[in-house]
Structure 1
Amino acid sequence: MTDLAHFVLGDGPKRVAPFSHAVRAGDFLFVTGQMPTDPGDNTRCVPGGIEAETRQVIANLKSVLAGCGAEWARVVMARIYLTEFARDYAAMNAIWEAEFPPGKLPARTTVGVTGLALGALVEIDLVVAVESGMR
């Protein structure tokens, strides 16, 4: 049976609900969907629309990965949730694509939703390949 490791990071993004930042199962790390929360106040999203929110979500995801000893380059799968799909899809895609080397994009699903916590425009969760000996 695969052992599980639960990560709740004291110096990671402040949680907006009761969850682990990530859970390792075998050679995969499952990262909870991150919000575009203001680093100083987890009760609100960063201002600036979809571009600013997407950049903050990615920064929060990278912070979680660093806290778990995992690497952004090892992202296998992402799920992206957008509340304004038609309006924000292209802008979010441009920012997302720029975060990866050409030809190295992870698998991905993007879903339009009716709402997200804190009134966010975007949320992203990840599955990341990790080394067996990862903490």
Structure 2
Amino acid sequence: MSGTVLHRKSGLVFISGQTAADEDGITAQTERVLQKVDERLAAAGTDKSHILQAQIWLKDIERDFKAMNGVWVQWVDQDNKPARATTEAPMANGKILVEIMVVASAKETP
């Protein structure tokens, strides 16, 4: 599995699902996951203002959606909000509360 894929022909950057099982609580996990997304986007030569789509999975959507969404709203580029889907899903590791995957465009087209 690749953590980041840059499709040079289309100029799209695919960031695999990021998690943070080493953090306690949905707020801390969401903050760490978004930090990891920022780091992967930067390594691919782009940033969150170029995110086109985000997929978010929550272990317990009823309990954690509001807190996760609060962190997301503070983090997302307010002038370039991506399309987003959020759903509940069982996680591969019981400590994981949130997983986020994004697709972004490169800053410069190939």
Q: What TM-score results when the alignment is normalised by the length of structure 2?
A: 0.88
- The SS at the match of 1:45 is coil
Sequence identity (%): 30
**Residue 17 of structure 2: which of 3, 24, 33 is its match?**
33
- Show structure 1 runs of 4+ deviating over 6 A: none
- The SS at the match of 2:46 is coil
Match of 2:27 in 1: 51
Matched, 1:23 2:33: no
**Residue 60 of structure 1: which of 36, 58, 64 is its match?**
36
- The SS at the match of 1:119 is coil
Matched, 1:73 2:57: no
* CA-atom RMSD in angstroms: 1.5
- Structure 1 stretches lacking a partner, 5+ long: 1-18, 37-43
Match of 1:106 in 2: 82
State the Cα distance separating 1:99 from its structure 2 match. 1.1
The one-letter code of the counterpart of 1:24 is L
- In the aligned structure 2, how far is the partner of 1:27 from the partner of 1:86? 36
State the Cα distance separating 1:118 from its structure 2 match. 5.8
- In the aligned structure 2, how far is the partner of 1:65 from the partner of 1:54? 16
Does the aligned pair in 1 maintain the 2:50–2:80 contact within 8 Å?
no
Does the aligned pair in 2 maintain the 1:97–1:105 contact within 8 Å?
no
The one-letter code of the counterpart of 1:27 is G
State the Cα distance separating 1:117 from its structure 2 match. 3.4
- Structure 2 stretches lacking a partner, 5+ long: none
State the Cα distance separating 1:72 from its structure 2 match. 1.3
Answer with 53-62 or 26-35: which moved more. Answer: 26-35
Does the aligned pair in 1 maintain the 2:58–2:99 contact within 8 Å?
yes
